[in-house]
Every structure is written in C-alpha cells, then in structure tokens.
Amino acid sequence: MSSEEQRRQFELYKKNVARRGKPFYPYAMFHDTVMSLVVVSVIVGLASLWYFTAGEEPGDSGVLGPRYADESDPGTISFTPRPDWYFYFLFYLLRIFKWPESVFLATVGIPTILLIILLLVPFFDRRRERRLARRPVAVVAALLVVASMGVLTYKGATAKESIASENLAKVPEWQATQNLPQDALPGARIFASLTCLNCHSYLGTGGGFAGAPDLSAEGSKGRGIDWQIGHLKDPPAYTPNSPMPSFAGLTDQQLRQLAVFLEASKGPKGGG
C-alpha cells in the first residue's frame, strides 16, 4: 500500500473518531479503573494466599511455594536450578536440543531470533487489513506461538525433580548393569545424591528438567579422570556453551570419586 493511501486512511480514522468517538473520561476511564482495581485485588490476593499458606521455616511450602528457600550456599552440592515460571518455556527449550553441540540454539539462538521476529512484525505485515478472518497467517502464527509457549511452560512446570533417596536405591542396579568396580561405588553414591540427575540421565533415570546429555556411557568416550575432574570444576572451559554450573565446591576426594565413577560407566552394552 502506498504511503499516500496509508496517510489518507489515518486521516479518515481521526475524522471518524472526532465525529463518532466518545470522550476518554468517563467512558473508557471507567473500564480502566475497574480493571486496575481487579489487578490490584488479584495481586493482594496472591500475596495473601502465598504468605498465609506457607510456614516461617525455609522451604515450608504453601499453595504458591515457600516464603524463601534455605540461604544461598555457593559450596553446596545439592540444588535444583529452577527459574521463575515465566522463564520455563526458555528453560525447557534446553531439553529439546542435543548437548552441547546445538544447545547454543536453545540458550541464545532461538530466543534471539524470536525477539527479532517480534520486533519486525509491523514491518513485514504492512497491509491495512485488521479483520481476523482475513488475516489467516497472523492468526495461525499467534495460535502456534501461544500453544508452543503454553506447552513448554507446562512441561517446565511439571518436570520432575530427582530425589536423592530414590536415586541411591538404584546404585546396586547400576552396579549390576554397568559391571561397576568397587572403587566406582562411592562416586556412584555421590552422583545419586547430588542433583546431577535433575539435568542428566543415567540408565533411564533422571534428565527430567534440563535434558543434559545421558551419562550412561560417559566412560566410553575416553576422556580420562583428569578431564572429568577439570570439567566438574569448570564445565564451560571443557565443553564450550555448556550451561552446567561448576561443582568446584566438592572436595578433591569427592571429585576424584565422581570422575572414577563416570569413567567406569561404559554403557550397558559395553561391559566392564
């Protein structure tokens, strides 16, 4: 459409509103005021529900979660990285891509592309048409975006966190399947009781949250004990683009035990 035509349309709009429109106050402002009161009431309601159903102890969760978790401890080794709910859709993208080769797409690539597309919407849809029935592409695109963000958010919200006691019970099973030597068992227990399995999977257990690589056959990659220890201390230095947090808070002995366990994990078919 020519810009001449666009300007003419806008002049018509202004004429139309001047003749047929109604003043903002009191008509539109009434709606706005009612809506604002609803918004503030909902916020107060959520705050009350959150506070009165949760206890004073850290982690004592109510309907809307705890008032606070335990105090942060950089030296801790068991934690679940979980963002606020409106980032779940981004967080869950991490599961869809193969680590670490293409995880870059999930962490930076796709969000950046989506943002650029969103910014450019008015520049590739330049028609005047605004009726929904005549904008099938826009409507379908909107529905797809809403559906995919909804599904990703839901999947992120319901992703299972691994529970240390359940994982520990599986250690004998791992030992049998993987033919683990005795010196790999302390590492297996550390592995099971840390939160590794929130992101990684091992012989079908875990991986529910971030979909990091399966570690069942980590030992068959020939990386060696030193590589494993170094990687645990500073993951991005060893596998670029890795969002895995550092486990430098572990003791040297724990790191070595974990590395021995990982190197001993040759995969169910590889045998000892």
Partner 1 sequence: MARQRKSKRQQQLQALIMAPIDWLEERSGLVGAVKYFLFRRVPAETNWFHTLGSATLTAFLVQLVTGVILAMYYKPDPESAYSSIQTITNDLTLGWLVRGMHRWGASVFIILLFLHMGRVFLFGAYKYPRELNWLIGVILLTLALAEGLTGYLLPWDQTAYWATVVAININANAPIAGPFLGDFLRGGAEIGGDTLARFYSLHMLVIPGGLIGLITLHLYLVIRLGVTEPPWTRAAAGYEFVEDGRGPVRKGLVEPRPRGNGSIGTPVREEVRP
Minimum CB–partner distance for residue 181 and partner 1 (Å): 32
Minimum CB distance to partner 1, residue 29 (Å): 7
CB 267, CB 217: distance < 8 Å: yes
Cβ closest to partner 1, residue 19 vs residue 269? 19
Nearest approach, Cβ of 257 to partner 1 (angstroms)? Answer: 22
| Residue ranges of E strands in 77-218 | 201-202, 205-206
Identity of the residue, 5 or 173, whose beta carbon is nearer to partner 1 in the bound complex: 5
For residues 31 and 221, which CB has a smaller minimum distance to partner 1 in the complex? 31
**Cβ distance 200 to 206 under 8 Å?**
yes
Supply the minimum distance, in Å, between the C-beta of residue 19 and partner 1: 5
Task: Select 66 or 267, whichever has its Cβ closest to partner 1.
Answer: 66
Q: Are 247 and 256 in contact (CB under 8 A)?
A: no
Phi and psi at residue 194, to the nearest 5°: -75, -175
At its nearest, how many Å lie between partner 1 and the CB of residue 234? Answer: 10
Q: Which is nearer to partner 1, 7 or 221 (CB)?
A: 7
CB half-sphere exposure, 69, CA atoms < 13 A: 7
Burial 90-110 (b: 16+ CB within 10 A, else e): bbbbbbebebbeebbbbbeee
Nearest residue (CB) to partner 1, 49 versus 169: 49
Distance of CA 120 to the CA centre of its chain: 26
Going by C-beta distance under 8 Å and a sequence separation of 6 or more, which residues neighbour residue 257? 186, 187, 190
Dihedral sign for Cα 227, 231, 237, 242, please: positive
- Name the nearest CA neighbour of 67 among 82, 49, 41: 49
Least Cβ distance, residue 163 to partner 1 (angstroms): 16
Beta carbon of residue 104, minimum distance to partner 1 (angstroms, whole number): 6
Q: What kind and span of H or E run contains 108?
A: none
In angstroms, give the least distance from the CB of 16 to partner 1.
5
Cα separation, 169 vs 164, in Å, equals: 9
Rank residues 169 and 237 by Cβ distance to partner 1 and give the closer one: 237
For tokens 């597309």, the residue is: 117
Q: Which is nearer to partner 1, 146 or 169 (CB)?
A: 146
